[in-house]
């Protein structure tokens, strides 16, 4: 059976932008499905006061005061969305000061957060730190999954379910297996179908006298990895389909998303490459940067 990952607390960082609200809506969906608490956090970046001095001088207020007012407004906007979505949701709010990605990581650790949900695009202009860049830094530093949500992905499916088709890319590694557990758990919660995908990157096959043997071995490895996902999903009563495809992993994943109406990708932040935990795997990073659907990035923590 799949290892169940209880989601009791969801953290939603916000900077008040439309991109942040997209992340918030998906975080609220997740909290509703899991009956989890919601924590809404806005970080006052104290490094902005000098950059934005002109604006504040014109408005006749102290920089810190207006930054905190912006942060409070950003938090309240998310609270309003949560209330309109489900008035029974348990919502905690916070405004803190510091470097955004560091403060988010510290808050997540201090409050036993299970999942961080945030947009991949944030405020532009005024040289403010983009939420997107903060998201990438958070992905590299926190010990819990991060739901990275691109703009324009907050509309529900016709039946009101945010996720109907969940893609679980796998390379058969331990890191991928941890992500598969999360993906199957979410598919069960949302009554969604699991799609699992293994990419045979032919560009990396060495030019040996027997390249076909190498390709066959990789395809067999792929089928074994898919069989493992199929078994886990079936044991949990989750519908599943799988495919071994050929090509660079990022391109294969993106094409599969487009061709199969995928609305959520769940993947490990590193797999067979053996990258340290604080480094985001190149495939996951490229998918987060280019996908037009939410991506749940699952780190393989030290005690996984």
Give the pair of three-digit tokens for residue 195: 């799609």
CA 2-291-204 angle, 5° bins: 80
State yes or no: pLDDT of 92 exceeds 90. yes
The packing angle between helices 18-34 and 131-141, to 10°, is: 40
What is the pLDDT averaged over residues 161-183?
89
Q: What is the pLDDT of residues 190-225, one digit of tens each?
A: 999 999 999 887 665 555 555 565 567 778 888 999
| Mean pLDDT to the nearest integer, 258-287 | 73
Q: By three-state DSSP, how is residue 32 classified?
A: helix
Which residues pair with residue 38 across a beta bridge? 10, 91
- Where in the chain are all domains bearing CATH 3.40.50.620? 9-149, 165-298
Specify the CATH class of 9-149 in words: alpha beta
Other CB atoms within a 10 A radius of the CB of residue 85 amount to: 15
Collect contacts of 220-226 with beta carbons under 8 A, ≥24 apart. 221/172, 222/172, 222/198, 223/198, 224/172, 225/170, 225/171, 225/172, 225/176, 225/196, 225/198, 226/170, 226/196, 226/198
- What value does the mean pLDDT take over residues 277-283? 54
Distance (Å, whole) CA 40 – CA 107 = 10
Radius of gyration of the CA atoms of the chain, in A:
20
The Cβ-side half-sphere exposure at 55, using a 13 Å CA radius, reads 14
Q: Decide if 263 contacts 162 (C-beta within 8 A).
A: yes
Average pLDDT over residues 118-129: 57
- Predicted TM-score (pTM) of this structure: 0.85
**pLDDT surpassing 90 at residue 118:** yes
Q: Residue 88: phi, psi to the nearest 5?
A: -90, -5
- Whole-angstrom CA distances from 71 to 97, 136, 259, 304 are 10, 21, 39, 35
According to CATH, the topology of domain 165-298 is: Rossmann fold (3.40.50)
């Amino acid at each position: 059976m799949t290892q169940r990952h209880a989601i009791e607390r969801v953290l939603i960082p916000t900077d008040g932008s439309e991109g942040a609200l997209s992340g918030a809506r998906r975080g609220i969906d997740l909290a509703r499905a899991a009956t989890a608490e919601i924590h809404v956090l806005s970080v006052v970046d104290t490094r902005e006061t000098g950059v934005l001095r002109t604006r504040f001088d014109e408005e006749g207020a102290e920089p810190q005061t207006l930054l905190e007012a912006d942060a409070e407004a950003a938090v309240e906007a998310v609270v309003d969305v949560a209330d309109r979505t489900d008035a029974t949701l348990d919502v905690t709010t916070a405004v803190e000061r510091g470097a955004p990605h560091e403060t988010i990581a510290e808050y997540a650790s201090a409050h036993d957060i299970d999942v961080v949900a945030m947009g991949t695009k944030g405020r532009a202009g005024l040289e403010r730190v983009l939420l997107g860049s903060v998201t990438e830094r958070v992905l590299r530093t926190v010990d819990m999954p991060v739901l990275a949500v691109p703009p324009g992905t907050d509309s529900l499916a016709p039946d009101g379910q945010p996720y109907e088709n969940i893609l679980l890319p796998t390379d058969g590694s331990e890191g991928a297996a941890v992500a598969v557990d999360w993906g199957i758990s979410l598919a069960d919660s949302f009554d969604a179908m699991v799609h699992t995908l293994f990419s045979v990157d032919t560009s990396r096959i060495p030019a040996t006298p027997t390249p076909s043997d190498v390709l066959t071995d990789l395809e067999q490895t792929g089928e074994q990895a898919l069989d493992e996902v199929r078994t886990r999903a079936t044991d949990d009563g989750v519908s599943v389909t799988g495919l071994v495809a050929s090509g660079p992993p990022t391109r294969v994943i993106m094409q599969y998303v487009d061709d199969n109406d995928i609305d959520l990708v769940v993947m490990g932040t590193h797999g067979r490459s053996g990258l340290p935990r604080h480094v985001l795997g190149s495939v996951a990073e490229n998918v987060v940067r280019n996908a037009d659907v939410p991506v749940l990035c699952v780190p393989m923590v030290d005690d996984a």
